[in-house]
Structure 1
Amino acid sequence: MDLRIFTEPQQGATYDTILRIAKATEDLGFDAFFRSDHYLHMGGVDGLPGPTDAWITLAGLARETRRIRLGTLVTAATFRLPGVLAIQVAQVDQMSGGRVEFGLGAGWFAEEHAAYGIPFPDDKFSRLEEQLAVVTGLWATEAGRKFSYDGAHYRLTDSPALPKPAQAKPPVIVGGKGPKRTPRLAARYADEFNLPFGSVEETEAQFGRVRAAVEEAGRPASDLVYSSALPICVGRDDAEVARRAAVLGRDVDELKENGLAGSPAEVVDKIGRYAAVGSTRFYLQTMDMADLDHLELVASQVAPQLG
């Protein structure tokens, strides 16, 4: 069972704060450190001292960590042109020695686009599909050959398709709750399908749709990793759980319903329910990035029970 730490730095974090939690992630034995790709805070916080860029952050972490996988959940296709994005991800993969994983989504938060002057088109999903085609096509082009693409949104002519990532292809993560187009995209491009913030029942249903789409595309359903992203709030006793939930501005009962919350035993049981419907990898959304004791508790009392 892979446990990965997933953070939301737009809510308020410096690079040094991110580095501390990434190093703790590595030292405590977690599989990977992931971050969101957002430029504006959400949910009533002030977001101070301001946002950090996802791929600049990961470039720094690539040189300051040694073992953990690194990635985004997920990069917004609205933020970067696909040719430039392919270069950025390939370079960070080289800098990390081949530890990058690439999550890509359509982009959804209109307010952050307005705040930073980023176009927010109506046809985001079709742009996402073309970005996946371009980025993976550039990486797959043999050295010495050229890559061209003529789409509705992006056109590349005789690209040298360089640089190459350290890996033959960084694993591509596609996710979401869309019942038709999302499974089709995952079947065509993904190495991993992620369902964020879904119930056990929603997870089972969407994994089933993705498996069917993968098989229809001529791939074994087992080609993909199936993963879940859920908020984490663990305590040694009820008071500690309540204290951590209060820091997040969340109700304990609501967190238990919609995330992984409670005692280590309760969280292990909940993870087991997701595992029973196919989740083999969990992104633990860690909102309080200063609470490294929380990570230690998960590493020492939750992870060992999962095998």
Structure 2
Amino acid sequence: MSLRFGIKTAQQHLSYPEILALWQQADAAPAIEHAWIFDHFMPLGAHPEGPCLEGWTLLAALAAQTRRLRLGLLVTGNTYRHPAVLANMAATVDIISGGRLDVGLGAGWYEREHHAYGIPLYPPGERIRRLQEACVMIRRLWKEPVVDFEGKYYQLHQARCEPKPLQQPAPPLLLGGRGEKLMLRVVAEQADIWNSPGDSVELYRHRSQVLDEHCIAIGRDPRTVERSVQLVLNQENPAETRDELREYIAIGATHLVLELRPPLQRDCIQLLVREVIAPLQAEFANESM
């Protein structure tokens, strides 16, 4: 599978005009294939008081202001919205974008945010089982005219999602997570793309092998789950990011996300393409010949 490079602009401490400018610059750069924001209602880290635009409404605006990039949230917290509501939101954004949506989903994790907004944060195992039901239910809503669903955690009675997404049979699902026993089993069952945040190269290699084993156990070809990794672009030393990314590519990562964090250099998109993407594309194209 060929390398697919993208950007992530987590919208904390960034304004809408700043994010839009970055996405439109990326949209004009053919080497960048996809773009992502995150799904949080307040900034992560030590300063939650700063600005943080809501993810899905922002994504709809960015979908309307770009033409080529695939786009999504890396990743949507399943605990934040009922999956049937999310299915309708995603279908709408897929239509707005002209069929460019990748739906990133995760089990949910940020305790401070759940507490602040009064959103239940279930035990880890339950969150993962809820995610599994959500994936099944969302795909059914995208494909079937009327859905009845009786899960342990979610129920639907004559539910509809109209109009359907433009992408058929469905927009791709990217699942983010790294729990080896439960989460990677759900990834094997449901995901088109797997992203494991914050892993070292060795941990990523190990978890990718565990995912292979889960795929084989359920009769799925492991090669049908694309492997995704996310790194922060070092704007002062992009060669460091390029060298780190090379290690993940060498062990099978092909869906490659570079996060752009403020303070942003004025030419950070051009820097990313020139110093990271173009050299790696050339290097691995030569290796495959």
TM-score (norm 2): 0.90
Conserved 8 A contact 1:17-1:290: no
Find the aligned partners of 1:115 and 1:291 in 2 and give their Cα distance.
33
SS in structure 1 at match of 2:233: strand
Which ranges of structure 1 fall in alignment gaps of 5 or more residues? 235-240, 242-261
Q: Which residue of 2 aligns with 1:174?
A: 175
Conserved 8 A contact 1:21-1:290: no
Find the aligned partners of 1:46 and 1:102 in 2 and give their Cα distance.
26
1:213 Cα offset (Å) = 1.1
SS in structure 1 at match of 2:45: coil
What is the aligned-residue identity percentage?
A: 33
CA separation of 1:289 and 1:31: change in aligned 2, threshold 3 A: farther
- Report how many aligned residue pairs link the two structures: 275
Find the aligned partners of 1:79 and 1:146 in 2 and give their Cα distance.
24
Q: State the AA in 1 paired with 2:246.
A: G
Q: Which residue of 2 aligns with 1:198?
A: 199
Find the aligned partners of 2:84 and 2:97 in 1 and give their Cα distance.
20
TM-score (norm 1): 0.85
1:298 Cα offset (Å) = 1.2
1:36 Cα offset (Å) = 0.7
- What are the within-5 Å matches in structure 2 for residues 266-281 of structure 1? 266-281=240-255
Q: Which residue of 1 aligns with 2:43?
A: 41
Q: CA RMSD in A?
A: 1.6
Which ranges of structure 2 fall in alignment gaps of 5 or more residues? 282-289
- What are the within-5 Å matches in structure 2 for residues 236-247 of structure 1? 241=236
1:268 Cα offset (Å) = 2.8
Find the aligned partners of 1:41 and 1:8 in 2 and give their Cα distance.
9
What CA deviation, in whole Å up to 9, does each residue of 1:186-226 have, x standing for no partner?
11110001111211101110111111211222111111111
Find the aligned partners of 1:193 and 1:15 in 2 and give their Cα distance.
28
SS in structure 2 at match of 1:100: coil
CA separation of 1:4 and 1:203: change in aligned 2, threshold 3 A: same
CA separation of 1:74 and 1:82: change in aligned 2, threshold 3 A: same
- What are the within-5 Å matches in structure 2 for residues 1-307 of structure 1? 1-9=3-11, 11-29=12-30, 30-45=32-47, 47-48=49-50, 50-122=51-123, 123-141=126-144, 145-168=145-168, 169-234=170-235, 241=236, 262-264=237-239, 266-288=240-262, 290-307=264-281
SS in structure 2 at match of 1:31: strand
What CA deviation, in whole Å up to 9, does each residue of 1:220-262 have, x standing for no partner?
111111111111203xxxxxx2xxxxxxxxxxxxxxxxxxxx3
1:33 Cα offset (Å) = 1.1
Conserved 8 A contact 2:238-2:275: no
